[in-house]
Amino acid sequence: MASDVTNAHGATVRSFGHQWSRFDQAPLSDEEIRARFDEYFRIFPWDTLASDASGVDIGCGSGRWARFVAMRVGELHCVDASDEALRVAENNLHAFSNIEFHRASVGDLPFEDGSLDFAYSLGVLHHVPDTAAALEAIVRVLKKDAPLLLYLYYAFDNRPLWYRSLWKITDAARRVIIRLPRPVKSLLCETLALFVYWPLARSARLFNAMGCDVSTFPLALYRDRSIYSMRTDSRDRFGTPLEKRFRADEIRQLMLEAGLEDIHFSNSPPYWCAVGKKARDTR
C-alpha cells in the first residue's frame, strides 16, 4: 500500500534505503539477531497480547525484528517510508503469511484510529523531523491499553562528562561524513567499523574476560557482536543525515503527552528503550 510521505526527512529515508540494501542482515546468525531482539523486547508485555493480536512495526527496515514478532502474533504490519527497505524486508520475510507491507511514513499511517493491539518502533523516531507528532500518530492507531515499545537514541544522560564529550567529537565527524558523496561516505563508515568499532569492542571483551567493569567502555556493547553488525551500525551512526537524542525524562514526557501511561524503561542497554500502554482516546 502506498502513501504520501509526511513527517519524514527525505535524505534520511534515502540513506536508510541504501543502508538496508547494502546490509540486508542475511549474513547474521540467528543467535546474534535473536540476542539483539531480546535486548530490545525484554520489557515488552507479551503476556498481555492474544494469540491473534494485530500490530505494527514502525520503520521496519530490513525486517530483522519482525521475524520474531510475527511468530507470536496473528498479524503484523511492516511500515517503512523507503521502497528499497521494504523490498529487503519482503525478501527477508517472504516465508511469513501473516505479514503485510506498507510504504508509508509515520505521519500518514494507513490504519484506522484505535484498530491495533500493539506497536513498536525501534531506532526510528529520532530520525524524523517531529518526534512528538510521530509518537502521537502511532498512539492514535492503538486500542486502549495496547502497548507501545519505543527505542530512541539517548543523550548519554546516564554517562560521565568525558563520555558525552567523546560523543560530541564523533557527532562532529558525522556532520562532515553525511555531506560526502555516497561512495566516499560508505568507505569512511567501513573504515570506522574496522579500525574504531572492532578494536574498541574486542578490547572491551578482553577486559571483561579479565573481570573488569566495561559498562562505560566505548563500544563495549559490541564486544560479542560480529564485524557485520559493526559495519551496519557504523553506516547507521555516521551516514544518517538527521539524528536527535533524548534524555530519559524527555522520552517519558513525550510518551505521556502522546497518551501513554504505565511507562517504564529498561535498566540495561540499549538506551533508551521504554514501554507504555495507551491510556486514552487521542483522536
Report in angstroms the alpha-carbon separations of 133 from 7, 139, 243, 251, 263.
8, 10, 16, 13, 18
- Is the same domain home to 171 and 231? yes
Say yes or no: 53 and 169 in one domain.
Answer: no
Rounded CA separation 236/185 (Å): 11
- The answer on 199 and 99 residing in a single domain is no
Which residues constitute the domain of residue 178? Answer: 161-239
- Residue whose cell numbers read 486514552: 280
Distance in angstroms (rounded) separating the CA atoms of residues 281 and 38: 30
Q: At what angle do helices 182-192 and 161-177 cross, to 10 degrees?
A: 150
Please tell me whether residues 196 and 77 are part of one structural domain: no
**Per-residue pLDDT at 35:** 96
Q: Do residues 260 and 234 both lie within one domain?
A: no
Is 149 a member of any domain?
yes
Query: Does 148 share its domain with 168?
Result: no
Is 124 part of any domain? yes
Residue 35's φ and ψ, nearest 5 degrees, are -60, -40
Contact 219, 200 (CB under 8 A): yes
| Integer angstrom CA distances of residue 95 from 63, 66, 214, 238, 257 | 12, 12, 40, 33, 38
**67 within a domain of the structure (yes/no):** yes
> Could you check whether the bond before residue 46 is cis, i.e. omega within 30 degrees of 0?
no
Residue 40 in contact with residue 68, Cβ under 8 Å?
Answer: no
Query: What is the per-residue pLDDT for 6?
Result: 84
Structural contact between residues 44 and 142, judged by C-beta atoms closer than 8 angstroms: no
Quote the pLDDT of residue 3.
41
- How many Å separate Cα 223 from the centre of its chain? 20
Residue 268 domain-assigned (yes or no): yes
Whether residues 219 and 100 fall in one domain: no
What CATH number corresponds to the domain at position 105? Answer: 3.40.50.150
Has residue 2 been placed in a domain?
no
Position 1 in a domain: no
pLDDT at 1: 37
Within this chain, do residues 216 and 100 fall inside the same structural domain, yes or no?
no
Q: How many domains does the chain have?
A: 2
* pLDDT reported for residue 5: 57
For every one of its 283 residues, what pLDDT tens digit does the chain have, with 9 covering 90 and above? 334 458 999 999 999 999 999 999 999 999 999 999 999 999 999 999 999 999 999 999 999 999 999 999 999 999 999 999 999 999 999 999 999 999 999 999 999 999 999 999 999 999 999 999 999 999 999 999 999 999 999 999 999 999 999 999 999 999 999 999 999 999 999 999 999 999 999 999 999 999 999 989 999 999 999 999 999 999 999 999 999 999 999 999 999 999 999 999 999 999 999 999 999 654 4
Do 56 and 181 belong to one domain? Answer: no
CB atoms inside a 10 Å sphere around CB 208: 16
Does residue 16 sit in the same domain as residue 133? yes
State the Cα–Cα distance between residues 66 and 61, nearest whole angstrom. 10
* 32 and 169 in a common domain: no
Return the pLDDT at 43: 98
Q: What is the reported pLDDT for 281? A: 58
CB 101 within 8 A of CB 88: no
- The answer to the question of residue 191 being in a domain is yes
